Amino acid sequence: MNGHENNQMSRRKFLGFLGSSAATIAVASTGLGPLVEKAEAAAGGSPAALPFPSLKPMKASELTAPIGYSIDSIQPVGSGGGNLVFMQGASANEGILWVSRSLAGASDPRERGASIIGVKREPGGAWKADKSVAGSRRITAMDRVQLTGPAKGSKAMNGSSVAQGLWSNGSVGRTPWGTVLAGERPDDADAIRAGINPPSYGWIGEADPKDAGFGVRKHTALGRFAHGDATVVVTSSGRIAVYMGGEHALYKFISSAKYDPAKGSGNSALLEDGKLYAANLSAGRWVELTSEAAGRVLADPAYRVPAGVNRLREELLVLLKEQAGVLTNAHEAAFVLGATKLEGAYGVALHPADGSLFVAQRGNDGSGNGHGSILRIVENGNDAEAVAFESDLVVAGGRQAAISSPGALAFDNSGRLWAASGIAADQLHQGAFAAFGSNALYALTPQGESFGQAQAFAYAPGDGAMSLPAFGPSGTLFASVIGADGKQSGVYAFRQL
């Protein structure tokens, strides 16, 4: 692992850089600049979190970070990793990391699911895993998981009210009541090989990292599709909105009941009943996914099944006849009802100042959008319950933006956007992708009406990729290395020296 200076920046210049603020870089008179100013004001005017001297593109053979940062190994090399969440512990020197394990091709189902890792900072400053921290444990594909919501026990679920295992694909989210959301895929190869009942995976699971007594459950009201990350917000009326990346579409769930902070994890019931929508970007509208609406569309014998739905109209009439079937086949329902087809839309993040939604698309080389993009969605009235919205392209992947194939997204408390690239292993260092080097974790600062160039913070080794970052205390950033053929895959803490 490499924490050396990549671009020959002096220590003095680096320390001067630490004192700069993202707001001094942003152009306040244009579209995105004020978001940084609002975020910094909310954070007490502090400098942008984790400023650093950008690394130059490289073909990394080891995990690399910029000058001024050290790398601590939290989880053993080769153990796999995915997107993660950090929760503060009893003191500033300890906490809990939730890591959604995405070690695809695992021969042992116990290698899938999630790791809940207690971490402590040693007197010298290094972070280490510590099993004595309350909550440390594993959740695996061997565990029995309760199903909730409309599809539980339904015909679409073959009458099942429980599922075998949490087959996390590495995606993650966090609720206002302190639980974590982990997404699955309906085409999970490991689950297929294990002979698991197909409708029992492809959902979002919920767990409480700090409370092993909180039973893991999968919420069918949130829909079954190829889940990306999720982000949760309390709406203006007090309901819960869950935005979900879905690889091929963007989804939103609105709870029927309202959030009550006094209920703590009892608010989990909010995810059991509500309305599920998919985004039609060209119309600027959220389309509610209901069996009635699907039935009306499919009743026309001349209806043509859209690209990406590998079912006949006659099959869809049966699959989507009941609401439980719509939720279990949410991908098909979304496109039948007019959702916009996206290209690897895994990452979602809410801006900390105005609540606008940022959506990453990794892109598709076959469609001519090989470098992907980042979209910004602003709900009508800035209300997450709105049915209408406006959308804009804020980052076009490619040489000008200095990033390709953005995946997971996160904002720090100063409004700086972090993105992990996900260039496919067989495209790394090849052709149009060669200029970007290995997959990296980047930060982007609003500048003008879009963003300035992406600044590389860390490069993953080999053909691996970096995860979503989780921000800890005292300038610490936690992240996973995913893939890399088992070499240096694992969980790491990047800390300022």
What Å distances lie between residue 284 and 59, 287, 288, 386, 395, CA to CA?
40, 10, 13, 11, 19
Identify which of 362, 325, 414 has the alpha carbon closest to the alpha carbon of residue 51.
Answer: 414
Tell me the domain boundaries of the chain.
Answer: 11-496
Establish how many alpha carbons lie within 13 A of residue 433's alpha carbon, considering only the half-sphere containing its beta carbon.
26
The pLDDT tens digits of the residues spanning 292-307 come to 999 999 999 999 999 8
pLDDT at 367: 77
Element (H, E) at 183: strand 180-183
Specify the CATH architecture of the domain 11-496: 6 Propeller (2.120)
Sole residue written with tokens 């079937």: 325
Under DSSP, the state recorded for 57 is P
Give the whole-angstrom CA distance, residue 119 versus residue 271. 30
pLDDT at 48: 42
pLDDT at 450: 67
pLDDT at 11: 30
Give the whole-angstrom CA distance, residue 137 versus residue 118. 9
Sole residue written with tokens 């060209």: 282
The pLDDT tens digits of the residues spanning 312-345 come to 999 999 999 999 999 999 999 999 999 999 999 9
Residue type, 480: S
Q: Which residue positions in the chain have pLDDT lower than 70?
A: 1-50, 76-80, 103-107, 448-450, 484-488
Q: Say if CB 202 and CB 189 are below 8 A apart.
A: no
pLDDT at 355: 92
Establish how many alpha carbons lie within 13 A of residue 149's alpha carbon, considering only the half-sphere containing its beta carbon.
33
Sole residue written with tokens 């290094």: 126
SS (H, E, C) 395-456: EECECCCCECCEEEEEECCCCCEEEEECCCCCCCCCHHHHHHCCCEEEEECEECCEECCCEE
pLDDT at 106: 63
